[in-house]
Amino acid sequence: MGLFIGGESMIVVMEPRATREQIDAVVKKIQEASLGTHLSVGVERTVIGVVGDSHTKELLRQSLEATSGVERVVPILQPFKLVSREFKSDNTVVDVKGVHFGDGSVAVIAGPCSVEGLEQIIATAKAVKAAGAVMLRGGAFKPRTSPYSFQGLEEEGLRYLAEARKETGLPVVTEAMDAYQLQLVTKYADMIQIGARNMQNYTLLREAGRAKYPVLIKRGPSATIQELLLATEYVMNEGNYQVVLCERGIRGFDNYTRYLLDLSAVPVLKELSHLPVIIDPSQGTGKRKYVSPMSRAAVAAGADGLIIEVHPDPEKARSDGPQQLTPEHFRTLMSELDPLAKALGRRMQAPLLTR
């Protein structure tokens, strides 16, 4: 379903005491115009996003403004609609099996770049949980620059992630690169990762939206912030509002780091969008010695979380060893982040004891 022709959409802001019947009447009127609706139910009022192609939007706007229970109709001028602060002024909190992104705390996801075996992923999961991580990451399908590089253990790796979750209670996030992999990921994991290389894979984004699982979208290495938000719009336009944005570095002109980690994206994205924003300092720098300082900087910039690569023996890792922390380094980093978060009036989210 596309957005209004000409780049303009609208939201219908209901009165604070609008009844369910009044909201339903507005939705019905919009649907009778062959347009779609997206509801954002806030603490004080309901906002209805209007999406679709229409040549009579001005007549519809006038009709909606005269409808009982409607406070005002506001155009959305940004090219992204559902993602925007105009559609939803309150921060969205994404819940992944009790882990919350966007509630003001700092949630840390950690684990190896690639799942290499059952013993490796369980040992890593136990180590990162003991240090304070609240979710487990690990690649079962690995998009690699060279076809001769390790491509991941595929479904076997997903089974190992599920076993690690069973052992530790940590929810799992892992990447899918196509519709078939997406079906497998939703079978074993708790959150779908759309990697940087697939940020503009619009078919995959739609499928992720239809899956109704929480989605983590990483910014592409050459993508603008607007392109990231428009990619996210594909997921949300399928009715899935549980999306977390991830800045993981963009192409620069220097070679001292793998990418240019754009920490300014955190306040910019939070101004433009209501969605949570996390930082990947491992991919963003490519070198483990920079992961800790950039993690601290990310928390100071207001990031809702971090996704950090941790491996029991990075020197023997089958992918991206130079950027992965040892469990000891990760434990030290987590001890540094706790007082920093407190100094900023925030808190580090802790693993639930029940998991």
Cα dihedral: 29, 31, 34, 37 (round 10): 120
- When pLDDT is averaged across residues 227-237 and rounded to a whole number, the result is 97
pLDDT in tens, 267-323: 999 999 999 999 999 999 999 999 999 999 999 999 999 999 999 999 999 998 999
Cβ-proximal residues to 294 (8 Å cutoff; 6+ apart), any chain: 261, 263, 279, 281, 284, 285
Domains of the chain: 9-76 (3.30.70.1140), 94-343 (3.20.20.70)
Specify the pLDDT at position 43: 74
pTM of whole model > 0.85?
yes
Give percent of the chain with pLDDT exceeding 70: 96
| CA gap 76, 85 in Å, rounded | 10
- When pLDDT is averaged across residues 251-260 and rounded to a whole number, the result is 94
| CA gap 165, 162 in Å, rounded | 5
Which phi and psi (to 5°) does residue 253 adopt?
A: -115, 0
- When pLDDT is averaged across residues 320-343 and rounded to a whole number, the result is 97
Specify the pLDDT at position 303: 98
What is the DSSP code (8-state) at residue 323?
Answer: G
Q: Which of 56-65, 69-78, 265-274 has the highest mean pLDDT?
A: 265-274
Per-residue pLDDT band at 54 (split at 50, 70, 90): low
Residue 209 exposed, middle or buried by CB count within 10 Å (0-12, 13-18, 19+): buried
pLDDT at 5 over 50: no
- When pLDDT is averaged across residues 189-206 and rounded to a whole number, the result is 97
Per-residue pLDDT band at 94 (split at 50, 70, 90): very high
pLDDT at 354 over 60: no
Cα dihedral: 51, 55, 56, 57 (round 10): 40
